[in-house]
Amino acid sequence: MKVKPNPMSIIHNPFPTKSLITNRTTSNNTRMFKHYTKIFSVFSLITLSTIFFLIQGDHYIYHDSLKLHATNKEPLVMLQAQRSTLSTLDNYHNHKPLLHSIQEKKDEVVDDYANQRVLVAPLNLNKEQRVAWFKEYLQEFKILKSDKLAKQFHARIQQFLKKNSCDTQFFMTWISPSTSFGEREFLSIESLFKVQPQACLTILSRTLDSIHGYKILKPFIDKGFKVQAITPNLPFLLKGTLAESWFHELRKGKKDPGEIPLFQNLSNLIRLAVLYRYGGVYLDMDFILLKPLNGLRNCIGAQSMDLGFKHWTRLNNAVLIFDKNHPLLLRFIDEFALTFDGNKWGHNGPYLVSRVVEKLGKRHGLNFTILPPMAFYPADWNKIGGFFRKGSDRVEEKWVEAKLNQLSGETYGVHLWNKQSSGLVIEEGSVIARLVSNH
């Protein structure tokens, strides 16, 4: 019979016994050895328990830090929420969010923080090299995945709309990390609910569909406003269109994503698809709403016009208002799939909608209206800076007053052109500051 060795026997004894030892000394040493063995065992157990506690404690602290990140990262945003005009609407009942079970999504929140990079192909690569790069990092493009949460997209939207009475159905997209959601975006949502408090807002976003995203939206939810973030299901949204096969090839890594961030181009596609599937209003996250849009149907705004011929020269897709299954939206989606180019800024967005409408000509019979620039784009991208500056003299102060008077007429909102204005400070007394204060 094999006898298992005593685990204590492998411990080196630093005090070897001598050959000449009395029986009494041996007995005492044995008792002492057993005593110290018990102490060592207890010490080992305490040490292992301490290590385990520290590991688990660090794990829970990490998760708590994720939950509190919105407050710690963006105190100004939360302060704005408390001091904003939302405080005048305390009579609204508290509205429980229709987010997916928070307990079931803890791992997704970790993913949200663990995959914060906005992946962009390195510059100066040819097409073959970009495709190779895209295949290598394909698994990191979470938006391309159709997981369990994404597959619940349609059911969650249906439930959200069924449980809420909405005067207008709004959609926005947010494909950037949730931690980059800042003051401008918060202001955009606030302006929407200030102007249309009975509206419903669905934000198509994987990163905001998380605990951190919930904390960002909580100031609105607590006031009874109907808003939720939902992870989009692109295969479902694109089904039955030419973009369905294009997206299928993209998910396999067989398409060139281009030098422009793929997230930006997918946002251009998602807004078209969600309006085609459900109908409603799409707004960019850098749009400040000034007037209700519930009186408009099937509209797109001109970004610029030839004043001499009174004809638009470019349209934009930052604001889209269309009925469900509108044929113009389907033409936009098909054009995206047929002419996609990820290397030209605007090619799959403003230039796309301009191309399609221009090809239609005047006798298209598709029942839509092109609104003048003053409706949504009262300042073009290269002039938006003037809206952020206060008047430095009497002449400029008069210009601010005149511009505000003009905006109070036919303007529904102002596109802030974040790409150009994100670094600008809203100066007190400027057009934007006055608009925010008044609305």
Say whether pLDDT at 106 is over 60: no
Residue 321's pLDDT is what? 98
Residue 117's pLDDT is what? 61
For the stretch 378-415, what's the b/e string if a residue is b when 16 or more beta carbons lie within 10 angstroms of its beta carbon? bbebeebeebbbbbeeeeeeeebeebeeebeeebbbbb
Q: How much is the mean pLDDT over the chain?
A: 80
Residue 29's pLDDT is what? 47
Find, among 428, 434, 415, the residue nearest to 350 by Cα: 415
Return the percentage of the chain with pLDDT > 90, whole number.
64
Please, which pLDDT band fits residue 119 given cuts at 50, 70 and 90? confident
Which 3 state secondary structure label does DSSP give 350?
Answer: helix
User: Measured between alpha carbons, how far is 113 from 115 in angstroms, rounded to an integer?
Assistant: 5
Specify the range with the lowest mean pLDDT, choosing from 59-73, 183-197, 347-361. Answer: 59-73
Q: Identify which of 100-109, 308-317, 325-334 has the greatest average pLDDT.
A: 325-334
Q: Is the dihedral of CA 376, 379, 384, 387 positive or negative?
A: negative
Averaged pLDDT for residues 247-260:
95
What are the phi and psi torsion angles at 206 (to 5°)? -75, -35
CATH 3.90.550-classified regions of the chain: 75-373
Q: Is the dihedral of CA 293, 429, 384, 436 positive or negative?
A: negative
pLDDT: which is higher, 65 or 337: 337
pLDDT: which is higher, 120 or 282: 282
Tell me if 384 sits within 8 A of 378, measured CB to CB: no
Specify the range with the lowest mean pLDDT, choosing from 41-45, 177-181, 210-214, 414-418. Answer: 41-45
Find, among 208, 356, 378, the residue nearest to 268 by Cα: 356
Answer yes or no: CATH 3.90.550 is held by domain 75-373.
yes
Please, which pLDDT band fits residue 8 given cuts at 50, 70 and 90? very low
Q: Read off the pLDDT of residues 187-243 as tens digits, 9 standing for 90 and up.
A: 999 999 999 999 999 999 999 999 999 999 999 999 999 999 999 999 999 999 999
Averaged pLDDT for residues 121-142:
92
Residue 48's pLDDT is what? 53
Find, among 208, 144, 211, 147, the residue nearest to 182 by Cα: 208
User: Measured between alpha carbons, how far is 17 from 148 in angstroms, rounded to an integer?
Assistant: 67
pLDDT: which is higher, 11 or 141: 141
Return the percentage of the chain with pLDDT > 70, whole number.
73
